[in-house]
Structure 1
Amino acid sequence: MRNIGLFIFLITLFLFQSAEGADKKSSSGKEVQDKRSIVIKAIESAELHAKSGKTKKAITELEKIIETAKTCGDESLLAKTYELLVEFNHKTGARKKEEEYTYWLNLIKTAAEKKQLEKQSRKDELEMSKLREQTLNAEWVKEQTEEELNRQTDSLRKTKDSLDLLDLKNKEHLAQIDLLKKEREIEDLKIKEQESRLKNQELVIKEKDARHRFITAIIASLILGIITLSILAYVIYKNLRQKRQYSDQIEKQLGVIKHQHDNITNSINYAQKIQNAMLPNESSYEHLFEDSFILFKPKDIVSGDFYWFFNVNDGDDRNEGGAENNKVIVVAADCTGHGVPGALMSMVGYNLLNMIVYNKIYEPHLILTELNKNVRSALQQDKNDNKDGMDMALCVINRKDKTIEFAGAKNPLIVIKNGELEHLKGDKHPIGGSQGQAHRDFTKHTVSYDGDTHIYLFSDGYEDQFGGPESKKFMVKNLKDLLLKIHREPFSKQKDILNKTIEAWKGTKEKQIDDILIMGMKVN
């Protein structure tokens, strides 16, 4: 009951929004406030009646203002109205009314939870987009920094070579200076020895001064060169230090980005728990079909593929003993996209299927027709450019008549009996999607079975997977050949073979491109 309610609530919420839009155009803000006042007064009056023992009168007064509460623009008042109706009908023992108002109250709460999930999904998508942009920018900056560091390293290496060469020249100059000093000492001795002989003292002094100026100039040049190289080395060292600091800042920013990525991943993991809780339990499927399997491999954490089955006997106790009670409905569906958007579409499809069978529609082609109409209505595809939809394979196993009834929206059904494979193709149009027809008819196929018969439903994720030596798609022909080859194996082994085959086909070079879903069962 709770699982089928989401779509009904979406329809009701759409009507609320349409009504609010009409009221805003035709009524003033004062009229909306007056409606809220009426609802509040009615709630207070009903509570007073209940306290004084007039519970039925309180119920009557609350039922009168339900429509007003729906159009007053305050969902909390509508929820309060339903809560009091549940409480008062429980006191009077009106179990059907209590269940009805409990159902509507749960719809409001479910809608609030869905809005929160959609808001979180949009926020996660925005954060992921920002994360990708930040990662690309950080990688570009890191590449530029590495290139600059390489250039600086080459420059430093060349500078070091220059310093080594200059050091060698300095040593040569020092050797020359030592030589000059020795020569000067020798000359000084000669001057002293010849001092008494030389008549022109001034010539000797000028010669000594000239040599002294020459030595001083050489020493000054060496000192200036050393100072210049020291300054150059300091500038290079400072630049390298700044580059290292900038690189450290980049590493820190990458750490922040990783933290944000981890938060988004945790959010999607929580969404996976919600989706797993929504999907039917695989053990229930094995209870309906003792020999069966479900191979379910989402591309991302959450999936746009989903499976669904319904035992008519469990869902319709009012028809006990009737022919309908021998039917089991099985669905393998592939929603537009994958990841979070696909998972949201899977929730819509899952709840709409529950609503349709709740209204006792058990014919496969009629279920698809009704599902198409409700998807278009839920997504308002007649009013906007929304193109989301789903492909689906749906079969109804009638154990009394020993027949398999099938209808498909693009997806097929494989039936193997007496060692022969029959491929039942679905219609070419999907559920919802970009095709604009308000009404779509689907074809019903009927196959009888006598003895062991194997049935397989699947999405296109397995056959479209790239891999192999030439990096091509697996293709539906290879899937059919594989199913025919392994169909006599135990179903647990069939599932293992299918999984190992696609993993080997994909290998290490290719990534999984779509969600994968295959359902197999034996009827006898």
Structure 2
Amino acid sequence: MEQDISSICVTRSDGTIFQVNSNFDSLFNYEKDEIIGQNLRDIISVNFREVFENLINGNDKLINQKHGGKGKGEVELEGIMKNGELIPIMMRLSKISLLGENYVYVTINDLTELKQKEQQVDSISRFPEENPHFVLRVDQKGEISYANYSSKSFFKEVPYASKRVVLNYLKGKVDLLFRDWKPFYEELKIENDSYYVSLIPISGQYYFNVYVTKITDYVSKVEEREKKLKALSDELSERVENQVGEIREKNQSLIENISFAKTIQDSFEAKAIRVISEKYDVQYLNNAHSIVSGDFIWSSEADDGRTFILFGDCTGHGVSASMVAVMVNSLLAQRLTTEKSLSLIMNALRDDVISLTSQGLKEGVNVGLDAALVTIDKQNSELEFCGANISVYLERNSELKEFRGNRFSLSLEGSSLGIFNSEKVKLEDDDVIYIASDGIRDQFGGPRNKKLKRIGFEGLINRTSQIPFNERAKHIDSFLKDWQGENYQVDDQSILCIRFSS
């Protein structure tokens, strides 16, 4: 008994249990000493007592007729566990006789798992009928071989013309589905209603399943929402268009004002170029980052015959930098009336810039400029240079020499780094002086999209020395445009070229 996987018990002829195996104890959740002595009838559901009596009396025929028995002393019943829970069981009885006593050998199997699977299968089999949407099965001729309850109700209610629409639609899809053997999905319109149709060919079979969901309400909601969205979009577009128009007008007005400021700036530079060109050949390029430039030149003729030139590169670019440039132009004119020493002029100019720009500035903001102040003395063939973070290059006989000057700017930040000093250089005929802003060296471009840097700039000047002097600004401008390519211009770009002659 213990070796058997079934639950086994042996009863006397009156049904009293006197021996069970461990599987029996486990199935009904009794201890062995609790179940011994009880009657087998006590663990059978009341609803199945009649079946049990017929079984124990050997009335297989009656069991088969009334209760769907399996025959040969076997029937499905409900057992009662110790806690009162009912479980489905299969019971088989075999009568045996030992030493003149009659016994019943009872084999019981738990049907719980089997019944659960049967319920699942039954539930799945009822799914098409219980489905509120249409479920159809269509054969290879395009004829409907199955329709669930919802589908039948639909065909009863709709006009004949609508039925024909559906039938013709299904027949029209037969060749496509049995050729490609791929699911097909689309929206179908029948009268005033919309349906979403799924056609699923069944692999290895000569039919396809059709699942149809009515989506009229959904489509109506979507269409209504689209109308509202379009109305909202039109309203927003009108608002945006009005705002863009206002911004465009303000922007145009601002551009016109800035362009007028550029006209004033150009006039300052033109005046400086005229002063220089009275004695020397000059080329000048100033590519502004934002219409007006923070790079500028200033020039004046001193009483002693020297030509004073200031090349400036103000902090930042655009309108703010150009305002600093205008301010410095005014300050220079004043300082030149009282000072002739370049170092004194630069130190005083730095004090003026700090005084006028430091008030009200946020901490960490540094306003000022890099500059190169030079004088060219034609009579003595001499160049004097005082630099504030800007170098002067001298080209002589195709050789280039850099004079670096002081490595701090005209600003509050540079005020703690020392005083400005100047240096003098003897000039020869056809010497060319170059002064440039850092916007040229800092521009990204070229085949590797890197900054031009100092080495690249000096290479540009060396190549430019082979170009006729009156074409050099144009040549440098062309190079910078090619170098920059599609990149953004990072800063104002300017360069001044002066050819000395005694």
TM-score normalised by structure 1 residue count: 0.53
Match of 1:327 in 2: 306
Contact 2:464–2:476, Cα closer than 8 Å, also in 1: no
Residue 409 of structure 2 aligns to which amino acid in structure 1? Answer: P
Q: Structure 1 residues 451, 174: closer, same or farther in 2, change over 3 A?
A: same
Which residue pairs with 1:242 in the alignment? 228
Which has the larger displacement, 482-491 or 472-481? 482-491
- What amino acid is the match of 2:497? G
CA deviation map 1:150-173 (0-9, x unaligned)? xxxxxxxxxxxx9xxxxx979982
Indicate whether 1:453 and 2:440 are aligned.
no
What SS class does the counterpart of residue 405 from structure 2 fall into? coil
Verify: 1:272 aligned to 2:234, yes or no. Answer: no
* Pairing 1:414–2:400 present: no
1:291 is aligned to 2:281? yes
Tell me the secondary structure at the aligned position of residue 386 of structure 2: strand
**What SS does the corresponding residue of 2:402 show, helix, strand or coil?**
strand
| Distance 1:263-1:455 versus aligned 2 partners, 3 A rule | same
1:355 aligned counterpart, secondary structure: helix
| Structure that is richer in strand per residue | 2
**Alpha-carbon distance in 2 for matches of 1:457, 1:170:** 94
User: Within 2, Cα distance between the matches of 1:397 and 1:170?
Assistant: 106
Task: Select between 293-302 and 375-384 the one with higher mean Cα deviation.
Answer: 375-384
AA matched with 2:321:
G
Structure 1 residues 177 and 434: CA distance shift in structure 2, 3 A: same
Does the aligned pair in 1 maintain the 2:276–2:299 contact within 8 Å? no
Q: Structure 1 residues 459, 175: CA separation in 2 closer, same or farther (over 3 Å shift)?
A: same
- Distance in 2 (CA, whole Å) between partners of 1:257 and 1:412 is 48
- Identity level (%): 22
Number of equivalent positions:
304
| Structure 1 gaps, min length 5 | 1-161, 163-167, 182-221, 314-323
User: For structure 2, which runs of at least 5 residues remain unmatched after alignment?
Assistant: 1-133, 135-143, 145-150, 164-189, 196-213
Instruction: Give the corresponding residue for 2:250.
Output: 263
Amino acid at match of 2:442: D
What residue number does 1:206 align with?
Answer: none
User: What's the C-alpha RMSD, in Å, of the aligned pairs?
Assistant: 3.4
Distance 2:359 2:407 in 1: 19
8 Å CA contact 1:376–1:382 kept in 2: the answer is no
Q: Which runs of structure 2 are paired with 1:166-315 in the superposition (5 Å)?
A: 173=155, 229-259=215-245, 260-278=247-265, 279-281=268-270, 284-285=274-275, 287-313=277-303
Structure 2 counterpart of 1:484: 462
The 10-residue stretch of structure 1 (282-291 or 238-247) with the greater mean CA deviation from structure 2:
282-291
| Alignment of 1:517 onto 2:494 | yes
- Residue 381 of structure 1 deviates from its aligned partner by 5.4
Q: SS at the partner of 2:421?
A: coil
The answer to which of 497-506 and 335-344 deviates more is 335-344
Contact 2:391 2:404 in 1 (8 A): yes
Q: 1:233 to 1:380 in 2, by over 3 A?
A: closer
The one-letter code of the counterpart of 1:512 is Q
Q: Is the Cα contact below 8 Å between 2:358 and 2:412 reproduced in 1?
A: no
In 2, Cα distance between equivalents of 1:287 and 1:393: 19
Larger relative contact order, structure 1 or 2 (CA cutoff 8 Å, min sep 6): 1
Name the CA shift for 1:174/1:291 in 2 (closer, same or farther; >3 Å): farther
Pairs within 5 Å for 1:364-403:
364-380=342-358, 385=363, 387-403=366-382
Answer whether contact 1:305 1:515 (CA < 8 A) is retained.
yes
Q: Is the 8 A contact 1:334 1:459 kept in 2?
A: yes
Cα distance, 1:257–1:467 mapped onto 2, change above 3 Å: farther
Distance 1:383 1:247 in 2: 44
Quick check: 1:494 aligned with 2:472? yes
Amino acid at match of 1:515: D
Q: How does 1:2-21 map to 2 (within 5 A)?
A: none
Residues 364 and 407 in structure 1, CA contact (< 8 A), matched pair in contact too:
yes
Alpha-carbon distance between aligned partners in 1 of 2:443 and 2:194, rounded to the nearest angstrom: 68
Query: Helix, strand or coil for the counterpart of 1:461?
Result: helix
Q: With structure 2 as the length reference, what TM-score do the two structures score? A: 0.55
Cα distance change, pair 307–269 in 1 and its aligned pair in 2 (3 A): farther
Q: Deviations over 1:308-331 (max 9, x none)?
A: 111225xxxxxxxxxx1x211112
Change (3 A) 1:224 1:450: closer
C-alpha distance 178-418 of structure 1, shift in aligned 2 (>3 A): closer
Q: Does 1:362 align with 2:349?
A: no
Task: Tell me the alpha carbon deviations over residues 109-145 of structure 1, each in whole angstroms, 9 at most, x when there is no partner.
Answer: xxxxxxxxxxxxxxxxxxxxxxxxxxxxxxxxxxxxx
CA contact (8 A) 1:363 1:396 kept: no
For the residues of structure 1 that align with 2:467 and 2:324, how far apart are their CA atoms?
35
